[in-house]
Structure 1
Amino acid sequence: MQNVTPFHIAIPVHNLDECRSFYRDILDCEEGRSSDHWVDFNLFGHQLVIHYKPKSNVELHTNAVDGKNVPVPHYGVVLPWDLFQSFSKTLKTKGVEFIIEPYIRFEGEVGEQATMFFLDPAGNALEFKSFKDMNQLFAK
């Protein structure tokens, strides 16, 4: 399959103002177009749109991966190694509460990667990851 960038993702949020602040001020996403029901953001060169949706009472589901409880569903971006390291430090200094603290997953194995998980204010799970060797992104 041919690589095409950037991607677009739309996520539901029940608190548009709080999530707008989170993506803009905590994740440092540049804000784009908006209305009273949605906001576009530049998430590392990709289009993220938060859309208002009334709050759901669905509980967070997880699956075990590498001994951790990975939230499902989740979304995020694969970052260059150095950017992941600096971004994770920035999130820590801004007081982000992690579901899974930044760490190296599958260390010494095919697909070794840095990863971290946290929630936005609407409870959407985000994962950011990085590979020292980007050729291992889809390695088996």
Structure 2
Amino acid sequence: MAMALFHLAFPVDDLAAARAFYGGVMGCAEGRSCDEWVDFDFHGHQIVAHLAPGEAGDRASNHVDGHGVPVPHFGLVLEMADWEALAKRLRDAGCEFVIEPTIRFKGQPGEQATMFLRDPAGNALEFKAFADRAQLFAK
């Protein structure tokens, strides 16, 4: 079976700001677009920023390992070196983190590097990595 790719459509309130963040800060190549949406290549996956003022942003948070994790959120599981490079890129760009790059569940099953931030529309994103990717679904 071929590797599946995900497609995610999400609301933003300003396409120019979405382009600056996803294209500029995150380094995602832009695909198709029109006056109401923009496709981005999100590490080989397709995400689509749809103009929908007032609909973006998280609505709640859940307590996870001492942090208030924004809900909803989306993101990627990266290789550790890619996660570290992204954390540096985001810091260098002056991004404000909801949860600073950190190691969660240290010494436990599922130990992972994680970070949370928001795009300009307030959508929450999580990026994580595992020293041992076999721990992704560890209990």
TM over 0.5, yes or no?
yes
Q: Which runs of 5+ in 1 are unaligned?
A: none
Alpha-carbon separation, structure 1, partners of 2:111 and 2:2: 22
Partner of 1:37: 36
- Post-superposition Cα deviations, 1:7-39, rounded to whole Å, max 9, x if no partner, equal 110100111111111100010000000010000
Alpha-carbon separation, structure 1, partners of 2:41 and 2:2: 19
Q: Which runs of 5+ in 2 are unaligned?
A: none
Partner of 1:124: 123
TM-score (norm 2): 0.95
Aligned pairs, number: 139
Partner of 2:102: 103
Q: CA RMSD in A?
A: 1.6
Q: Residues 1-140 of structure 1 correspond to what in structure 2 (within 5 A)?
A: 4-56=3-55, 60-140=59-139
- Post-superposition Cα deviations, 1:44-100, rounded to whole Å, max 9, x if no partner, equal 111010001121497641110000000000000000011101110110000000000
TM-score (norm 1): 0.94
Alpha-carbon separation, structure 1, partners of 2:19 and 2:64: 30
Percent of pairs identical after alignment?
A: 53
